Structure 1
Amino acid sequence: MELRHLQHFVAVAEDQHFTRAAERLVVSQSGLSASIRALERELRAPLFVRTTRRVTLTEAGRALLGEAERILAQVRAAHEAVAAVQGVLRGTLSLGSEQCVAGVPVAQLLAAFRRLHPDVEIRMRQAGSGELAEEVAAGRLDLAFAYRVQPDGDRLRSVPLSSEPMTVLCHPGHRLAGHGALLAPRDLADEVFVDFHPDWGPRRVTDTAFAAAGVRRTVALEVQDVHGLLDLVDENLGVAVVPRHFRHKRASLTSLPLAETDHVEYETVALLPPPQAASPAARALMALLDTAGALGQPGSARGGTPRGTGSA
């Protein structure tokens, strides 16, 4: 089995199209098809179901995809490790992040990383914490900043970075705006909520807190971005429970503290593969994050409580 066969297979699986995958790989479509056929012959199983419009993975293809991604990630890590020993950090840093994670100034961190390591290509994508955890475990991301998830033994570890209380945002004309005391979930039982997709950290925290309090809530307006959430609350279409630093993003909204319990802390973590599988770029980024002076205390930059990052 050749590495290029696995590279070709993963590209087709990602694009679900032979022509687009061939263009991305800068190979001929006939050469790409021949590579996939050779892999299928070796494995004695079809890997794709081909139609005129797209290709989809067979059961055998799905089984191979995770292993192929891990193998390719390990090969990249090997090349980068050798370069690092020679004193040059090269390759790619693939980073995932939730939007507006608490306590980690992602843009500032990446800018500092680029100044130190200009030969490393930076790639970044945003998604929910569960999806980011799967991407790191599969080797598609070097690391991710996300809400805490359950570590996965041999494939995923979680390094605590910071924690931050949750707060309620509402329109200044809303009935809660003049509430003088701490709010509890029961005080919000009859409200209409604006919230993120269930995989996002703030939604996970809020769902857990309300479930623990035995309070049902209605999420009528579900969004995929922070500004969309703030716009809807600004139009008095609902209230939102969000990490405390969100209150600085829209001065026109009223921020009300939520009573602190074990269930209403937004905890930011770095999701990484096991130490032996961490790429040199990931280790360098974590080392930079640990150097708080270079970034103005990243663990507390947005009002969170910093925690030691430890070694990558």
Structure 2
Amino acid sequence: MELRQLHHFVALAEERQFTRAARRVNIVQSALSTSIRALERELDAPLFVRSTRDVRLTGAGEIFLEKARLAIEAVRDARSAVAEVQGLKRGTLKIGTVQSLPAFLDLPLLLARFHQRHPGIEIRLIQGSSSALADRTRAGGIDAAFFPVGTHLTDLVTTMIACDEVVLACPRGHPLEGLTGVTLEAIKDFPFVDFETGWGTRRLVDGRFGDAGIGRHTAFEVSDLDTMLKLVSLGLGIALLPETVVVARDPDIGMARLSSPELCWELVVAHLPVAGPGTPVAAFLSLLHESLVITDTAQLPEA
């Protein structure tokens, strides 16, 4: 039994619906279902009664929910106690981030929780492009940075936070709205709204068009997501963006799906190897680990 399974179980017990619970713990629904079934096999007892509309706890599930919450809280308390023993009373934590994380990660809330646990540690937040953040992290100017994959990262420790399908965003009523299997060739002549070079999804999109040997017309280059979505909603262009962003941000935005192979946007947290426990960055990464159920590409250090 793993801690992440307890997080999965509690999320499903509280949300009572697989789709909402999967979104809450930031994994796909099939992965959540697999995790719950494995937990039930290990306990040799059904924890949920499933229906087409929702799920509800069995008697065994209700008892296990209480114990699971206690176990999660005990782990949090243990980590907090260890951090206090290590003397995290002062220091600086430098966090880098690209824009538009709220759909995937509530970074301000995470930093607030870190400040609550370690009020003596000064927190600095730096925004920038993926390449700039990666360079500053390599140089030691940033302790940990959140940005999408798309740059050379073999010299940094990375952990995936989210993986989201890239979809086509268009204004409501656009000829492409609602279509599936849209090819790059079919959209190359439409005006695009995109981020400046090096920002957001620009590197990913440029790379896919470049690999396909297809040119496109970028009519608007912006540095923030809100402006991009507004331009799209007003019919000035189309954009390729993570599905979660498109669905969450603007009711005037329509959507279409690309043909296979799907284009995926991957968000990671990157940092240099951590020397050991007792440092602000180790404590922050530990808090991130317990706050999110994430897919590891490298082991996060314990604080």
Report the TM-score range of the alignment, normalised by the length of the smaller protein. Answer: 0.5 to 0.7
Residues 279 and 169 from structure 1, CA distance in 2 versus in 1: closer, same or farther, beyond 3 angstroms? farther
* 1:108 counterpart residue number: 109
Say yes or no: does 1:311 pair with 2:300. yes
* 2:79 counterpart residue number: none
Q: Identify the match of residue 153 of structure 2 among 131, 151, 154.
A: 151
Give, in angstroms, the shift of residue 287 of structure 1. 0.7
Say yes or no: does 1:274 pair with 2:273. yes
CA contact (8 A) 1:164 1:266 kept: yes
> In 1, distance between residues paired with 2:152 and 2:165?
20
Runs of 4+ in 1 over 3 A off after TM superposition: 83-86
Give, in angstroms, the shift of residue 129 of structure 1. 0.4
Give, in angstroms, the shift of residue 160 of structure 1. 2.4
* 1:121 counterpart residue number: 122
Residues 253 and 150 from structure 1, CA distance in 2 versus in 1: closer, same or farther, beyond 3 angstroms? same
For these two proteins, the number of residue pairs brought into alignment is 215
> What secondary structure does 1:276 align onto?
coil
- Give unmatched runs, 5+ long, in structure 1: 1-82, 293-297, 300-305
Say yes or no: does 1:237 pair with 2:245. no
> What secondary structure does 2:300 align onto?
coil
Please list, as runs of the form range in 1=range in 2, the aligned pairs for 1:205-284 lying within 5 A after superposition.
205-247=204-246, 248-261=248-261, 264-276=263-275, 280-284=279-283
> In 1, distance between residues paired with 2:201 and 2:276?
29
* 2:62 counterpart residue number: none
AA matched with 1:268: L
Residues 133 and 277 from structure 1, CA distance in 2 versus in 1: closer, same or farther, beyond 3 angstroms? farther
Residues 208 and 277 from structure 1, CA distance in 2 versus in 1: closer, same or farther, beyond 3 angstroms? farther
AA matched with 1:93: L
CA contact (8 A) 1:84 1:280 kept: no
Please list, as runs of the form range in 1=range in 2, the aligned pairs for 1:291-302 lying within 5 A after superposition.
291-292=290-291, 298=292
> In 2, distance between residues paired with 1:239 and 1:104?
25
Please list, as runs of the form range in 1=range in 2, the aligned pairs for 1:62-81 lying within 5 A after superposition.
none
> In 2, distance between residues paired with 1:232 and 1:240?
10
Give, in angstroms, the shift of residue 279 of structure 1. 8.1
Q: Deviations over 1:208-239 (max 9, x none)?
A: 22222222111120001111101111111100
Please list, as runs of the form range in 1=range in 2, the aligned pairs for 1:3-22 lying within 5 A after superposition.
none
Give, in angstroms, the shift of residue 174 of structure 1. 2.2
Say yes or no: does 1:133 pair with 2:134. yes
> In 2, distance between residues paired with 1:125 and 1:164?
24
* 1:61 counterpart residue number: none
AA matched with 2:299: G
AA matched with 2:141: R
* 1:287 counterpart residue number: 286
AA matched with 2:258: L
Q: Deviations over 1:11-32 (max 9, x none)?
A: xxxxxxxxxxxxxxxxxxxxxx
> In 1, distance between residues paired with 2:97 and 2:118?
20
Give, in angstroms, the shift of residue 142 of structure 1. 0.8
Residues 89 and 164 from structure 1, CA distance in 2 versus in 1: closer, same or farther, beyond 3 angstroms? farther
* 1:182 counterpart residue number: 181
AA matched with 1:189: K
- Give unmatched runs, 5+ long, in structure 2: 1-82
TM-score by length of 2: 0.65
CA contact (8 A) 2:161 2:268 kept: yes
Question: Equivalent pairs: percent with the same residue?
Answer: 31
> What secondary structure does 2:181 align onto?
coil
* 1:8 counterpart residue number: none
AA matched with 2:167: T
AA matched with 1:226: L
